[in-house]
Amino acid sequence: MTGNHRLAMGLYISIPFCRSKCTYCNFSSGVYPAAAHSRYVERLIEDLAGARAWAGGAGAELPERIDSIYLGGGTPSLLAPGLLAQLFAAIRDGFEIDSDAEITMECAPGQIAGAMLEAMTACAVNRVSLGVQSFVDREAHESGRLHTRAVVEDDLRRLRAAGIVNLNIDLIAGLAGQTFASWEESLQALIACDAPHASVYMLEVDEDSRLGRELLAGGARYRAGLVPTDDAIARMYERALEQLEAGGLKQYEISNFSRPGFASRHNLRYWRRRPYLGVGLDASSALCGEHGLLRAATTGDLEAYLAGPQAIEKTWLTAAQQHEEAWFLGLRLNAGVNVAELEQEFGRDLVAPAIVTAQRLAADGLLDFDGDTARLTAQGRLLSNDVFQEFLTETEVAAG
């Protein structure tokens, strides 16, 4: 991170509440009563007010200006409208929000009450990310989603009528029961919606979701037996690339697609290593400071979080670690990694071994590398985790 990026930061606020738990979900989110919502917002406000002292104590710089805010979760639109207003008042108390800041809120389709929509516009929310996952009603229902395609289309109409036109739709390839035909239906519905941004994820299989556990341990409750094979999911992803591109949504990151000018400014921060503060449950921060780059993470235990301020895990990254991040975060972007910029930031000696790695991966067909800029190939995107691993030092790989 260089000096001019210190001028403004992004703010991520985690809202871990949902109306029901989706089968594939591996986030720290759950169904909690309204009393937990108000206590949680109190805690967020407390943490926002204490952020400057915390950062100062850690030796990190907390910019006053904010140019992007992202309320993720969870389902932030489930908060009472008054709580959203309190939260934004606290942000404005502690920070200066740019007049053209990108302010995103994640919403679940069918869960944006009229009063909430009014509160969102009053708080200057100007981007909404809708967790659609599938436009096929049966698939959405069986994944634990509570909407139909008609509900999504109605939400989009209401959001646009309220002046929120910067809209993202999330889809997941690999849901139980999904077929090539149903995936095609979701892709075509997404394009027909004319949203300027889409995120397409491949199903993650791990112990943190009910579907993932069933896939790993067996069982039939969440229809794990009907999850498409890895090869089929990869083909669905490739089909998404073709169809979205044809529909005018250009890929700019492994999972993200946009019309010109609609790439997510907040999410770009993560891949470009720009500073951000994360507040709430299971939130991470990246801030510049006296020892370089500080990465911090809050607790994922809601009870502990509600009980009062918690210790925040902090790590100052070494120059070598920052350089590795520059590769595996930068390669996520279609723009790729520019070697001259890295040499300027980290020095030639640190970058030289990574250039050799990039040349080897290019020979294997996983990167396009002309000596100047390295980018993932189509094959490299499908094997991106393996590619990123190649840029980690042997010590870190051994340490896991």
Tokens of 54: 């915390």
**Adjacent-strand bridge partners of 279:** 13
CB of 119 to ligand SF4, least distance (A): 19
CB of 108 to ligand SF4, least distance (A): 5
CB of 209 to ligand SF4, least distance (A): 8
In the bound state with ligand SF4, the residue whose beta carbon lies nearer, of 48 and 203, is 203
CB of 78 to ligand SF4, least distance (A): 9
CB of 116 to ligand SF4, least distance (A): 15
Q: Give SS3 for 339.
A: helix
Tokens of 216: 């790993």
From 90, 72, 67, 94, select the one nearest 10 (Cα to Cα): 67
In the bound state with ligand SF4, the residue whose beta carbon lies nearer, of 201 and 346, is 201
CB of 20 to ligand SF4, least distance (A): 7
Distances in Å between the Cα of 332 and the Cα atoms of 169, 325, 350, 376, 377 are: 19, 11, 21, 8, 11
**E-assigned strand segments in 326-390:** 337-338, 367-369, 373-376
In the bound state with ligand SF4, the residue whose beta carbon lies nearer, of 83 and 326, is 83
In the bound state with ligand SF4, the residue whose beta carbon lies nearer, of 255 and 322, is 255
27 phi/psi in degrees, rounded to 5: -90, 165
CB of 170 to ligand SF4, least distance (A): 9
Q: For strand 337-338 and strand 373-376, is the pairing parallel, antiparallel, or unpaired?
A: antiparallel
* Under 8 Å between Cβ of 129 and 168: yes
In the bound state with ligand SF4, the residue whose beta carbon lies nearer, of 213 and 323, is 213
Burial class (CB in 10 A: 0-12, 13-18, 19+), 309: exposed
- The residue with its CB nearest to ligand SF4 is 25
In the bound state with ligand SF4, the residue whose beta carbon lies nearer, of 29 and 126, is 29
CB of 233 to ligand SF4, least distance (A): 17
In the bound state with ligand SF4, the residue whose beta carbon lies nearer, of 275 and 280, is 280
CB of 195 to ligand SF4, least distance (A): 18
CB of 73 to ligand SF4, least distance (A): 5
Distance CA 126, CA 97 (A): 13
What does the longest C-alpha to C-alpha distance in the chain come to? 57
The footprint of ligand SF4 (CB under 6 A) covers 18, 21-22, 25, 27, 29, 73-75, 108, 131
Give me the residue label for tokens 């809202």: 15
Give me the residue label for tokens 């934004």: 88
Output the CA torsion sign for 185, 187, 191, 193.
positive
In the bound state with ligand SF4, the residue whose beta carbon lies nearer, of 134 and 322, is 134
In the bound state with ligand SF4, the residue whose beta carbon lies nearer, of 31 and 89, is 31
Distances in Å between the Cα of 6 and the Cα atoms of 50, 191, 272, 287 are: 20, 37, 13, 9
CB of 223 to ligand SF4, least distance (A): 16
Distance CA 94, CA 53 (A): 12
Distance CA 358, CA 368 (A): 9
In the bound state with ligand SF4, the residue whose beta carbon lies nearer, of 73 and 380, is 73
CA 178 to chain CA mean position, Å: 23
Q: What letter represents residue 281's amino acid?
A: L
Tokens of 159: 């959001």
In the bound state with ligand SF4, the residue whose beta carbon lies nearer, of 29 and 256, is 29
Distance CA 338, CA 116 (A): 43
Q: For strand 367-369 and strand 373-376, is the pairing parallel, antiparallel, or unpaired?
A: antiparallel
